[in-house]
Structure 1
C-alpha cells in the first residue's frame, strides 16, 4: 500500500506544479478570458489535489471539502464571467 500512497502523493505534487503554472497565466494573462480560464484550472487542480491527498491519507471526510470547493469554483467562474460580460470585457 505504500506504493499506492507514494503514487498518489506524486500525482498531487504534479498537480500543484501545474497550479503554479496556471497562477502565472492568471497574473500575466493577456486577456480577461485567459485569466478566467486559468482561475478555473487552478481551482480544479486544487480540488484534484484535495481528493488525491484524501485518498493517500485515508481521510474520506476531505472529499466533502473537495466537493464544496468544486461548487465554489464553479460559482466563482460564473460570477467572474458575468461580471466580465457586463463590463464589456468580452472580445
Structure 2
C-alpha cells in the first residue's frame, strides 16, 4: 500500500509541476487556462485517492465543488476568448485591414 501511495504522489506531483511550468511559460490565456485545469484535476485526483484509501465519504462535497469550479472556469474562459476574438475580427472588418 505504501508503494501505491508513493506512485500516486510522484505522478500527481509530476502533473502539478508540469502544470505550474505551463502556467508560468504559457504565452496565451488558453495555455494558462489549461494548466489551471491540470492543477485542479491533480488536486481532485489526490483528494479522491485519499478518500478511497481511507474510505472517507465526507470529502465528496469538496470534490463536487472543485469539479464544478473547473467546469465553470473553463467555460467562462473559453467564452471570454471567443468574444475577444470576435471583437478583434469585427474591428478589423470596420477598419478595412485584412
- TM-score category of the 2 structures, normalised to the smaller one: 0.7 to 0.9
Q: Does 1:74 align with 2:71?
A: yes
Higher relative contact order structure (alpha carbons within 8 Å, sequence separation ≥ 6): 1
**CA 1:12–1:55: 2 relative to 1, 3 Å:** farther
**CA 1:22–1:72: 2 relative to 1, 3 Å:** same
TM norm structure 2: 0.72
Equivalent residue runs for 1:1-91 within 5 Å: 3=1, 6-8=3-5, 10-88=7-85
Asked whether the equivalents of residues 15 and 49 of structure 1 are also in contact (C-alpha less than 8 Å), the reply is: yes
Is the helix fraction higher in 1 or 2?
Answer: 2
In angstroms, what is the RMSD of aligned CA positions? Answer: 2.3
The number of aligned residues is: 87
CA offsets per residue over residues 26-69 of structure 1, 9 Å max, x none? 11102222222222121111111110111122211112211221
Unaligned runs of 5+ in 2: 87-98
Q: Which runs of 4+ in 1 moved over 6 A?
A: none
TM norm structure 1: 0.77
